Structure 1
Amino acid sequence: MDLKLFFMAFGMLFLAEMGDKTQLAVFTLVTQYKKPLPIFLGASLALVLVTLIGALFGEVVSRYVPTAYLKLAAGILFVGIGIFVLIEAVPGVLHQLGRG
């Protein structure tokens, strides 16, 4: 095993996910449901599977789709998910403001 590559992947993903949407989603779920263990296990499994998909298909896809298009699609998807989360959050925030 190439330990240098292993630690580089670990370090990059650890830093990229710190404070990212994944961590914020887990934080939000735990504050909402107050059950950290099943949320941790579910999120961990999801991250493992998503990373496996990325590792298995990343090189194949990049042979046929230019990197710029992949980045554009990822950005659009990220913004779309952000808009969805905001739309879902607004009624709860308005409700909380009405109580205060």
Structure 2
Amino acid sequence: MEAFLVSTGIVALGEMGDKTQLLALLLAARFRKPVPIVLGILVATLANHAMAGALGGLLAAWMGPQWLRWVIGISFLAMAVWMLVPDKLDDVETEGGSRRLGVFGTTVVAFFLAEMGDKTQIATVALAARYTDLLAVVTGTTLGMMLANVPAVLLGDQIARRVSMKLVHGIAAAIFAVLGVLTLLNVGQLL
């Protein structure tokens, strides 16, 4: 249960103001069809985070507990610093492919590609390496993505004006820093 809750919380906070959340806003404004956009986000996130989680599990098995503890601890500390860097929407193009793929297909492709190498994907790798329950991590990180992105699709600009992204990123950075320090100090159960 810990793996699920930590994964959900970290990704939900980390996703606030992230480029994929900005992409959700952009897709919602462009297409005005929330159901296929939300379903596209879900499919893309499940595929992306399942791959990232599998990679984290492989790294855990390959490195062994001592090396893994250091890699995960340092990764969490790096994620804490990275959370403090504001995200902007990269050049994710939705114009040309939207006619061929439809709203759902465009969302799946755009989200899958935007999530490659993103903070939440790397967090999923680290969380899957940290916790042995791959299903709980992937389910948690996917739920975290949905918690951050579904309101962006449904409420759009109203959320962006009322929530301080700097505060949200600060909280997420603090959580990553605490997890990193606890992992380096070998506090709690590791593998």
The one-letter code sitting in structure 1 at the alignment partner of 2:30 is: Q
Map 1:20-39 onto structure 2 (within 5 A). Answer: 20-39=18-37
Counterpart of 1:15? 13
* Bigger Cα Rg: 1
Q: How many residues are treated as equivalent by the alignment?
A: 73
Q: Which runs of 5+ in 1 are unaligned?
A: 89-100
| 1:49-75 Cα deviation digits (max 9, x unpaired) | 1110110112435758xx69xx8xxx9
2: CA distance, partners of 1:26 / 1:16: 15
Counterpart of 2:50? 52
| 1:38-92 Cα deviation digits (max 9, x unpaired) | 011001110111110110112435758xx69xx8xxx9xxx9x72x249x9xxxx
1: CA distance, partners of 2:45 / 2:92: 19
2: CA distance, partners of 1:85 / 1:49: 19
2: CA distance, partners of 1:40 / 1:33: 12
Larger relative contact order (C-alpha < 8 A, sep ≥ 6)?
Answer: 2
Q: Which runs of 5+ in 2 are unaligned?
A: 64-70, 96-191
Counterpart of 1:94? none
Structure with more helix by fraction:
1
2: CA distance, partners of 1:85 / 1:44: 18
2: CA distance, partners of 1:10 / 1:85: 25
The one-letter code sitting in structure 1 at the alignment partner of 2:43 is: L
If the length of structure 2 is used for normalisation, what is the TM-score? Answer: 0.32
Map 1:1-100 onto structure 2 (within 5 A). Answer: 3-60=1-58, 63=62, 82=90, 84-85=91-92
User: Could you list the runs of 4 or more consecutive aligned residues of structure 1 that deviate by over 3 angstroms after TM superposition?
Assistant: 61-64
The one-letter code sitting in structure 2 at the alignment partner of 1:17 is: E
State the shift of 1:16 in Å.
0.8
% of aligned pairs identical? 30
Instruction: Determine helix, strand or coil for the equivalent of 1:55.
Output: helix
